[in-house]
A = this chain, B = another copy of it.
């Protein structure tokens, strides 16, 4: 294991890159998809099952964990890795996004955000300094700078003010992070959909200096077309030798498009959340297992998939358990979805390494257009 955090690009194909992030807790193969373990668990999964899907790293949510069970408590219990029984790398967000979307009575100032917990109504404050301290208590391997995720749509003046606030917070995050051997701090680019603001944000982050750089303020309602327009220029503004992390993305076709545009890391609740509502994601698109057309179908969700759900169960069984509200339906579909997402990442990594990303993307699109049921 590497004693320190490092990133090596091993292949490129157009703007796309594949590589390895080294951390003391293990390697992260890029492009990487990070399952979301909001409250100390990737929902409906045991951590060894998360690993079995191919995940190298999971994401923890600072906002949720600071409120329950509390960062100090997790620190006393040996840190988040031991707490949730996941010994590999953990990336934690800064809490900035979720405090603005989930907390009550939130008040944003230059200092930070004051808010009431959505769980028990208690008053808390998140600032660049407190976010760095909470992520330290959690034992995070990849710490995110505290920022404001600029809402969409925003006019240019609003987007500029928000970006400038995030850049001041980025500098305070960097100072508060200090020296943490083996741990990384990522800065977050803002600027909404404005190219000059993105460039200015990237320049200010590079000047501060981070171990990696995230693309923030995307996947917030702007739609894939607009997001891809930003991704056509924004990643290249960030230091080429550092990992680029697109936050909150996405659907499989979002992921493919982002990788084509030079993104190295992503996270999204989609595979886990949709697994709990009866949705399966496959090479052939999205399948709603609640639909009655599956109730007599002896075929697996995807006959070419090697996950436990597809190896052991019929669509009819998944339909039955999802409709009956049985936990195993959510467990199997979550596993399948995470497996498929990791399988997609492996396919992208292999294609980049082989210099055949364009062909891979063509096959990916053709398979989705063929429809979700394979011919009998």
Task: Identify which of A308, A320, A321 gathers the most chain B CB atoms within 10 Å of its CB.
Answer: A320
B314 touching A83 by the CB < 8 A rule?
yes
Contacts of A242 in B (CB 8 A): none
In the complex where A46-B308, A316-B83 touch, is A73 in contact with B296 (Cβ < 8 A)?
A: yes
**Assembled-state Cα–Cα distance A332/B41 (Å):** 12
Verify B73–A317 contact, CB threshold 8 A: no
Q: Are B316 and A77 in contact (CB under 8 A)?
A: yes
A317 CB contacts on chain B under 8 angstroms: 40, 77, 83-85
Residues of B with C-beta under 8 A to A39: 320-321, 324, 326
B-chain residues with CB within 8 Å of residue A41 when the two chains form the complex: 321, 326-328
Contact of A55 with B by CB under 8 A: no
A316: contacting residue among B44, B73, B320, B328, CB under 8 A: B73
Chain A, residues 59-101, CB within 8 Å of chain B (1/0): the string is: 0000000001100010011100001110000000000000000
Asked if A295 is at the interface of the complex by the 8 Å CB criterion, the answer is yes
Q: How many angstroms from the CA of A331 to the CA of B313 in the assembled complex?
A: 19
Query: Are A85 and B312 within 8 A (Cβ)?
Result: yes
Q: Is A43 an interface residue (CB 8 A)?
A: yes
Q: Closest approach, in angstroms, between the C-beta of A292 and any C-beta of chain B?
A: 11
Q: Taking the complex as formed, is A167 at the interface, i.e. its CB lies under 8 A from any CB of chain B? A: no
Which residues of A286-333 have CB atoms within 8 Å of chain B's CB atoms? Answer: 295-296, 298, 308, 312-314, 316-317, 319-321, 323-324, 326-328, 330-332
The tally of residues in A whose CB lies under 8 Å from a CB in B reads 37
Q: Which residues of B contact A296 (CB under 8 A)?
A: 73, 76-77
* Binary contact track A114-153/B, C-beta < 8 Å → 1, others 0: 0000000000000000000000000000000000000000
Residue of B nearest to A314 (CB): B77
A45 at interface (Cβ–Cβ under 8 A)? yes
CB distance from A76 to the nearest CB of B (A): 7
Q: Kindly list chain B residues whose C-beta atoms are within 8 Å of the C-beta of A331.
A: 44, 46, 327, 331
* CB pairs A–B below 8 angstroms (23 shown): A39-B321, A39-B324, A39-B326, A40-B317, A40-B326, A41-B321, A41-B326, A41-B327, A43-B327, A44-B327, A45-B328, A46-B308, A46-B331, A69-B295, A69-B316, A69-B319, A69-B320, A77-B316, A83-B316, A83-B320, A85-B312, A85-B317, A327-B331
- A-B contacts besides A39-B320, A40-B321, A73-B316, 17 pairs, CB < 8 Å: A40-B320, A41-B326, A41-B327, A43-B328, A44-B328, A44-B331, A46-B308, A46-B328, A46-B332, A68-B323, A69-B295, A69-B316, A77-B314, A77-B316, A84-B317, A327-B330, A331-B331
